[in-house]
């Protein structure tokens, strides 16, 4: 075996042992995401885990009836027939995700031709995720009916119908977000603190006194952190799937690819901080300064749709935005890697920038 390989494996083995013997740290790194997942899991269970839809039907006739039946047959929807006034009040209270108003002339025929008619939908801006998903489903149903009426071929309907029958709730929206948050925290805080501690205590210097290049030590640490973060993410997905019925629409493989790129970005930030800092006291403020804005503004817990446009533009470029958006697109909409190209390019640019910065600011002592 090549000596560098042997050194790398020895350091990786030692770092892995060091990590799994630190039971307290492992429990803590799992505790927060599991607690958050549980809170959101129970919250979305509380609202019936289905999407609450108010329905006001002003029309009579066969077509509106069919439309209402189709809606009622979707398991994810809970349909309540109410008046427009009631619906506005319920939306305001947050009891409804979406209000659907069928106009009088819906499906009416004039001079042997179907007339143009608009179904109006109002969604709850406090819960835009469920509202938008429901809205999307309704647009699909309406366009299906529309195609039937106008006799145009409906070649594209199959995939869309598949998406609408996925019982996607807020929990499905939040899990990729919490996963991104965990990846970020394990990468930035986990690495920065443990690495700077080894630097401050002199353990790193002791490695430099041996013939191994210290870069292999950094590589070994990064490898262990990558493995540990992947294991943690898998545990969280398993937890979300078995306890709260998380739905993965896309492929786990694509999900893992985006997660690994995300882990590498945040590890890079962690190493940059640890490489620059002299001891632990310098790590905490810098790590927080980087983590907090991302945690609040990257759309991890809520959609960024409500942001003013300038803030949305800035936060578009946050690494956590790319990661959480990418993971969410795969998990909720089954996006392929090709569809995520803009996110992947963004992550790639960050990856390069971070590692250039880390090398620049790195100090061994």
Partner 1 sequence: MPVILEVTNLTKTYDNNVHAVKGISFSVERGEVFGILGPNGAGKTTTLEMIEGLRPISSGEVILDGIKTAEEPYRVKQRIGIQLQASAFFQNLKLTELLEMFADLYGSTINSLELLADVGLKDKANFLVKNLSGGQKQRFSIATTLVNRPVMVFLDEPTTGLDPQARRNLWELIAQIKSRGTTVILTTHYMEEAKYLCDRVAIMDDGKIVALDSPDQLIKQLLARGFKPHVEVPPATLEDVFIDLTGKTLRD
Q: How many angstroms separate the Cα of 174 from the Cα of each of 109, 131, 154, 345? A: 44, 15, 33, 24
The rounded distance, in Å, linking the Cα atoms of 136 and 270 is 39
Query: Could you tell me the two tokens for 227?
Result: 């493995």
Binding of partner 1 at residue 10 (CB under 8 A)? yes
In degrees and rounded to multiples of 5, residue 81 shows phi and psi of -85, 115
* Selected binder of partner 1 within 153, 158, 159, 209 (CB under 8 A): 209
Pairing of strands 51-57, 77-81: parallel
Residue 93 beta carbon to partner 1: minimum distance, rounded to whole angstroms: 53
Binding of partner 1 at residue 183 (CB under 8 A)? no
CA end-to-end span of the chain, whole Å?
A: 31
Binding residues for partner 1, total number by CB under 8 A:
26
Q: Which stretch binds partner 1 (CB under 8 A): 14-22, 66-74, 164-172, 266-274?
A: 14-22
Binding of partner 1 at residue 198 (CB under 8 A)? yes
Residue 235 beta carbon to partner 1: minimum distance, rounded to whole angstroms: 21
* Selected binder of partner 1 within 126, 149, 156, 203 (CB under 8 A): 203
Q: How many CB atoms lie within 10 A of CB 166?
A: 18
Binding of partner 1 at residue 9 (CB under 8 A)? yes
Binding of partner 1 at residue 3 (CB under 8 A)? yes
Q: Looking at residues 140 to 159 of the shown chain, list those that interact with partner 1 (rule: CB under 8 A).
A: none
The three-class DSSP label of residue 56 is: strand
Binding of partner 1 at residue 207 (CB under 8 A)? yes
Binding of partner 1 at residue 206 (CB under 8 A)? yes
Which residue, 7 or 52, is less far from partner 1 as judged by CB?
7
* Selected binder of partner 1 within 57, 70, 132, 208 (CB under 8 A): 208
Binding of partner 1 at residue 210 (CB under 8 A)? yes
Binding of partner 1 at residue 213 (CB under 8 A)? yes
Q: Which stretch binds partner 1 (CB under 8 A): 6-14, 71-79, 165-173, 272-280?
A: 6-14
Q: How many CB atoms lie within 10 A of CB 67?
A: 23
Q: Which stretch binds partner 1 (CB under 8 A): 75-83, 163-171, 201-209, 330-338?
A: 201-209
Query: Could you tell me the two tokens for 251?
Result: 């492929």
| Interface pattern 15-44 for partner 1 (x via CB under 8 A) | x-xx--xx----------------------
Q: How many angstroms separate the Cα of 342 from the Cα of each of 266, 323, 337, 345, 347? A: 19, 11, 10, 5, 9
Binding of partner 1 at residue 11 (CB under 8 A)? yes
> Which positions touch partner 1 (CB under 8 A)?
3, 6-7, 9-11, 13-15, 17-18, 21-22, 198, 201-203, 205-213
């Amino acid at each position: 075996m090549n000596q560098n390989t042997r050194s790398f494996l020895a350091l990786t083995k030692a770092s892995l042992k060091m990590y799994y013997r630190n039971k307290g740290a492992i429990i803590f790194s799992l505790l927060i995401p599991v607690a958050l997942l549980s809170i959101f899991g129970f919250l979305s269970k509380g609202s019936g885990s289905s999407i609450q839809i108010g329905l006001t039907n002003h029309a009579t006739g066969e077509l509106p009836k069919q439309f209402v039946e189709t809606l009622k047959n979707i398991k994810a929807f809970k349909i309540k027939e109410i008046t427009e006034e009631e619906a506005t009040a319920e939306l305001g209270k947050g009891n409804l995700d979406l209000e659907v108003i069928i106009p009088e002339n819906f499906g009416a025929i004039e001079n042997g031709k179907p007339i143009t008619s608009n179904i109006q939908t109002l969604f709850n801006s406090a819960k835009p995720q469920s509202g938008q998903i429901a809205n999307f489903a309704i647009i699909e149903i309406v366009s299906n009916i529309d195609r039937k009426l106008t006799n145009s071929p409906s070649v594209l309907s199959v995939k869309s119908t598949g998406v609408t029958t996925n019982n996607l709730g807020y929990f499905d929206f939040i899990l990729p977000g919490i996963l991104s948050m965990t990846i970020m925290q394990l990468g930035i805080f986990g690495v920065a603190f443990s690495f700077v501690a080894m630097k401050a205590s002199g353990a790193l210097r002791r490695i430099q006194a041996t013939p191994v290049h210290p870069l292999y030590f950094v590589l070994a640490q990064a490898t262990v952190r990558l493995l540990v973060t992947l294991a943690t993410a898998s545990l969280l997905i398993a937890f979300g799937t078995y306890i709260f019925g998380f739905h993965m629409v896309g492929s786990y493989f694509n999900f893992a690819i985006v997660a690994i790129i995300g882990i590498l970005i945040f590890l890079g930030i962690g190493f940059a901080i640890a490489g620059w800092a002299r001891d632990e006291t310098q790590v905490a403020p810098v790590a927080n300064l980087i983590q907090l804005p991302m945690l609040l503004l990257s759309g991890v817990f809520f959609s960024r749709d409500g942001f003013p446009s300038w803030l949305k533009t800035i936060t578009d470029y946050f690494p956590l935005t790319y990661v959480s958006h990418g993971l969410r697109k795969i998990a909720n909409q089954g996006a392929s890697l090709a569809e995520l190209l803009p996110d992947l390019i963004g992550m790639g640019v960050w990856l390069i920038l971070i590692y250039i910065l880390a090398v620049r600011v790195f100090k061994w002592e």
